[in-house]
Amino acid sequence: MDTKQVIAGFEAERQALALLDHPNIADVFNAGTTDAGRPYFAMEYVKAISQPLTERVLVTQQGRFVGTAEYMSPEQADLTTRDIDTRSDVYMLGVILYELLTGALPCDPEALRECGVVHIRHIIREAGPKTPSTRLSMTSGRESTKLAQLRRVDARTSGHQLQGDLDWITLKATEKESIRRYQTAHALAGDIQRHLDNEPVLAGPPGKIYRLKKFVHRHRTQAIGIAVARVLPGVC
């Protein structure tokens, strides 16, 4: 913990926390260096002892790998890059969305624990996740039924709902290259809202058939009426 790189990273973390001002983020009150030369910062006390941490949290290992690997963006796992910005937050939101949709994480925590630090970084930076719909199809019947019940649908419908928009949105949010992700959390939220409103999402293919399907779904009653109106003259 005395290396220049660790101390520099600690200082960067302290400065980042000091800049944050939000009622749901603990404040940084003070910072400095001990008599032994160790850096420290004092934060607002949080009473986070009502329940144990999830078993999926990867314990920080010896070395310079600091953070919860399952939610870490590729650029955060790359020691050579400094291009870390809000798109890393978008990536983590994408991982949370993936977890909400499938009940699982894109990177298997148990598999990560079996790897060395170098291989963990390789997985985070290179290994693309399965689509949520594909991942859900691999889930045990009991777990998929539980997830479906939370969404108030049957298991088959739950899997079908993920195909298309939600697959595309989740994969765009967790793109390995930050330039290909949503550039802000607001853009991600906007695409989710478009999906809920049955409008074409930015993450989806721009094909005419896709947009037509979205239009028909939004205006189902009118579309059926138009189709019936066209068929009836021929029948008569």
| The domain boundary residue, chosen from 51, 67, 86 | 51
What is the extent of the structural domain holding 91? Answer: 56-203
169-179 tens-digit pLDDT: 999 999 988 88
**Are 99 and 180 found together in one domain?**
yes
Element (H, E) at 32: strand 28-33
23 and 88 together in one domain: no
Identify residue 193 by its one-letter amino acid code.
Q
What is residue 59's predicted lDDT score, i.e. its pLDDT?
45
pTM above 0.95, yes or no: no
Give residues with Cβ within 8 angstroms of 186, minimum separation 6.
Answer: none
Domain boundary among 16, 31, 51: 51
Residue 181 in contact with residue 173, Cβ under 8 Å?
yes
Is residue 184 domain-shared with residue 211, that is, in the same domain?
A: no
Indicate the DSSP class of residue 197.
Answer: T
Checking if the pLDDT of 193 tops 90, the result is yes
Same domain, yes or no, for 44 and 129?
A: no
C-alpha span between 149 and 153 (Å, rounded):
6
Burial letters 207-236, b for 16+ CB under 10 A, else e: eeeeeeebeeeeeeeeeeeeeeeeeeeeee
In this structure, the answer to whether residues 79 and 192 fall within a common structural domain is yes
Per-residue pLDDT of 125-173, as tens digits, reads: 888 788 888 887 777 677 777 776 766 666 666 666 778 889 999 999 9
Question: Is 199 in the same domain as 217?
Answer: no
Position 215, amino acid: F
Q: Would you say 203 and 172 are in contact if contact means Cβ atoms under 8 Å apart?
A: yes
pLDDT, residue 116, reads 75
Higher pLDDT, 222 or 89: 89
- Do 39 and 105 lie in one domain? The reply is no
Cα dihedral 139/143/149/151 (nearest 10): -50
Any idea what the CATH number is for the domain that residue 156 is in?
1.10.510.10
Query: What average pLDDT does the segment 184-197 reach?
Result: 94
Q: Is 31 exposed, middle or buried (0-12, 13-18, 19+ CB in 10 A)?
A: middle
pLDDT tens, residue by residue, 33-65 = 888 878 888 888 877 666 655 544 444 444 455
Within this chain, do residues 171 and 220 fall inside the same structural domain, yes or no?
A: no
Assess whether 198 and 209 both reside in one domain: no
Summary mean pLDDT of the chain: 77
Question: How many independent structural domains does the chain possess?
Answer: 3
**Residue 191's pLDDT band (cuts 50, 70, 90):** very high
DSSP helix, strand, coil percent of the chain (3-state; round to 5): 55, 5, 40
What's the pLDDT score for residue 56? 46
Q: Is 61 helix (H, G, I), strand (E, B) or coil?
A: coil
98 and 44 co-located in one domain? no
